[in-house]
Amino acid sequence: MTNVRPHPHPRPHPNRTADRGWAGSLALCALLLVAAGVAAWFVPNAASGEQAWRRATPCTAQTPAAGRDDCLTTVPAVIASTDVNQPRQPSWLYFTDSRPLHRLEVSAEAAQDFQAGDHVELTVWRGQVMKVAGAGESWHEHITTARSLAVVAALLALAAGYPAAKVLGCLRARRLPDDEVLPSALPFAGALAGTALWLLPLCFLHPTDLLSSPTQITWAAAGSLLTLALLTGAWRATRIRTPEGAAAEGRPEEGGAGGTAEQPDRGEVFVSARFLEPTDFNPHGFGTHIALGDGAPAVTPGPGRFAAKRIPVERLTVRNVRRARGSDGDTVPRSWHVAELDDAGAPIRLAAAPADLTRIIRALGSTRA
């Protein structure tokens, strides 16, 4: 039977990779949350300004000077020249005699539409030019709406959730050996994406009164339950379970990415697995599967017996089973486990999904017995 003789290991020191990732992710999370808070802070002001602009009416002769900021003043002007730049750079309209102002920043499209000598009317509100209208062209100043700010704030808060998930993953992995591959935070990204599906429409439609009606309260409550379920699933998907922990529970871990479900050892199956070192039975590291069941275990380049190479189980001794590490290479999924073997004195590694690796080791042992 294949011997399992774990080497004594020194106490695992804290994962330095996790420690380094923790600080950067925490800083990014804090920055995004601050930005989200600032955007949310300006939502009421944006809503107030947006409503005031929509309600503004033209000033009249009876409008007092103190009240002309809140009404619309129309000023004639003549365009002296235009300066058209790239879309990401400001473009300008220049006015004859610098009246009523020297120049005005506009979009590149507006600068192209207007020509020198055009007679235009400028609409001024609260001391700012809000509109330029000519014979057939016009330009409007962009108004920051409460809806857009609320959506931006929600997006920033959701974006902060991903580095927060990475911080959580680093904290859960601090006792792992250095260079151990950490679980991906992508399941939390999926939970955040699911949250966006209900949160962003709510923020867009009700930027200043999210919970002002029973319908909105029900919407938010149902969405929160969905988010809780998604986060619970993400927490379970990213849990860190060592091979020793799985053995202590009396059952192997589920296969995970690329794994196969536990099946009776009847018939022939081809399990996705890789020997990480080239050997005489795995030349040039060609093997991607291991054939189990009918006949001797063999390394194959795919799910079939073509070019199969018999595994010399009589030479192999299992020294240790561990989680995948960065030093195992990019071809090993982070959810896999690695068996450290002794091949007649030469150390080799065998990687597979946890349940598959357990099954392979059991099959090798039963074949040798």
Q: What SS3 class is residue 278?
A: coil
pLDDT (mean) for 340-345? 91
From the number of C-beta atoms within 10 Å of its C-beta (0-12, 13-18, 19+), residue 238 rates as buried
Task: Out of 5-9, 58-62, 109-113, 198-202, pick the least confident.
Answer: 5-9
Q: Are 150 and 217 in contact (CB under 8 A)?
A: no
pLDDT bin (cut points 50, 70, 90) of residue 257 is very low
Confidence of residue 367 (pLDDT cuts 50, 70, 90): low
Long-range contacts of 90-94 (CB under 8 A, 24+ apart): 93/132
- At residue 178 the predicted structure's pLDDT band, cuts being 50, 70 and 90, is low
**343 near 250, Cβ under 8 Å?**
no
The pLDDT-based confidence of 5 (bands split at 50, 70, 90) is: very low
Which residues 6+ apart lie within 8 Å of 232 measured at CB? none
- The number of helix segments (H) and strand segments (E) in the chain equals 8, 13
- For the entire predicted model, the pTM comes to 0.66
Q: What percent of the chain has pLDDT over 70?
A: 84
CA of residue 347 relative to chain centroid, distance: 38
Q: Which residues contact 1 (CB under 8 A, 6 or more apart)?
A: 365, 366, 368, 369
Residue 77 has pLDDT above 90, yes or no: yes
pLDDT score at 33? 97
Q: In this predicted model, what pLDDT tens digit does every residue of 204-253 receive, in sequence order?
A: 999 998 888 899 999 999 999 999 999 999 998 887 665 655 444 444 44
| Per-residue pLDDT at 175 exceeds 60 | yes
Which of left, alpha, beta for 77 (phi over 0: left; psi -120 to 50: alpha)?
beta
pLDDT at residue 120 above 90? yes
Which carries the bigger pLDDT value, residue 5 or residue 299? 299
State mean pLDDT over 21-35: 89
Stretch among 50-64, 154-168, 185-199, 222-236 having the lowest mean pLDDT: 50-64
Average pLDDT, the chain: 84
- Greatest mean pLDDT range, 4-13, 155-164, 231-240: 155-164
Q: Give the DSSP letter string of 291-337.
A: EESSSS-EEESSSSSTT-EE--GGGEEEEEEEE-BGGG-TTS-TT-E
Beta strands in 73-207 (DSSP E): 73-83, 91-95, 103-106, 119-125, 128-133, 138-140
- The predicted pLDDT at position 74 comes to 92
Enter the tokens of residue 54: 């929509």
CB under 8 Å to 137, separation ≥6 — which residues? 110, 113, 114, 118
343-365 pLDDT, tens digit per residue, is 989 999 999 998 899 889 888 87
High-pLDDT (> 90) share of the chain, %: 56
* Confidence at residue 131, expressed as pLDDT on a 0 to 100 scale: 95
Helix (H) or strand (E) holding 24: helix 16-41
Position 180 scores a pLDDT of 65
Say yes or no to pLDDT of 254 above 50: no
- Residue type at 27? A
Tokens of 104: 């005005």
pLDDT band at residue 119 using 50, 70 and 90 as cut-offs: very high
Residues, the chain: 369
| Alpha carbons 97 and 350: distance in angstroms, whole number | 81
Q: How far is CA 10 from the centre of its chain?
A: 35
Q: Which pLDDT score is estimated for 227? A: 96
Q: Which phi and psi (to 5°) does residue 208 adopt?
A: -110, -5
Check residue 65 and give its pLDDT: 79
